[in-house]
């Protein structure tokens, strides 16, 4: 049953993440996601069978319920439509992790309040999952490695003299990401754990 809660919360957190990208893009003048029918919270419009269901379930089983991450179908964006050509891509890229951090903060603060009311104790596990999953999505997606949002943020600030770094990451980003997941997961989890403690008041 815990796996079911975990997957459901993960799916909706991913959906909200993707919708946020499309909503900000639409606000900036690019209606591509809107015309594609992706500005909706209906999971069926966003789910990727492998990335949204199979991968997180597999990771949960392998890690014995300690780790899972997934992805949805990317929201289509055309940056050439942005009114703000300089910072438009940056704003859209920040939107996804930003909304995940916001959700983690809201439910984390509610968790602090609910700790004082034992009658609401049944909500604790759900809120813990929501905070954890949204922190995981935010921190993971802010890694400066393609195709994650952090890479678009990084590329916004890289000058032309760093073009070779950009080309390397675009070409080998997937392998770099696998390397980071395998050898850097402990550091990623420590960052999540620190933020979780700051928001909720106690450790994961």
The set of catalytic residues is 18
In order, the DSSP letters of 152-201 are: HHHHHH--GGGHHHHHHHHHHHHHHHHHHHHHHHHHHHHHHHHHHHHHHS
Residues 6+ apart with CB under 8 A from 176: 145, 169
Alpha helices of 38-148 — where are they, by DSSP H? Answer: 55-62, 88-114, 124-141
Task: Count the neighbouring beta carbons within 10 Å of the beta carbon of residue 58.
Answer: 13
């Amino acid at each position: 049953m815990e796996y079911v809660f975990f997957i459901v919360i993960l799916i909706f957190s991913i959906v909200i993440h993707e919708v946020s990208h499309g909503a900000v893009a639409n606000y900036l003048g690019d209606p591509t996601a809107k015309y594609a029918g992706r500005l909706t919270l209906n999971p069926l419009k966003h789910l990727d069978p492998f990335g949204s269901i199979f991968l997180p379930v597999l990771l949960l089983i392998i890690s014995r319920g300690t780790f899972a991450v997934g992805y949805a179908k990317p929201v289509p964006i055309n940056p050439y439509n942005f009114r703000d050509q300089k910072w438009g891509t940056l704003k859209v890229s920040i939107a996804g992790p930003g909304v995940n951090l916001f959700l983690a903060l809201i439910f984390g603060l509610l968790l602090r309040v609910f700790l004082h009311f034992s009658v609401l104790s049944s909500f604790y596990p759900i809120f813990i999952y929501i905070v954890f999953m949204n922190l995981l999505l935010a921190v993971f997606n802010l890694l400066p490695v393609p195709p994650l949002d952090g890479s678009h943020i990084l590329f916004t600030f890289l000058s032309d003299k760093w073009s070779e770094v950009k080309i390397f990451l675009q070409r080998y980003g997937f392998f770099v990401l696998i390397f980071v997941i395998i050898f850097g997961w402990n550091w990623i989890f420590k960052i999540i754990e620190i933020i979780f403690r700051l928001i909720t008041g106690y450790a994961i």
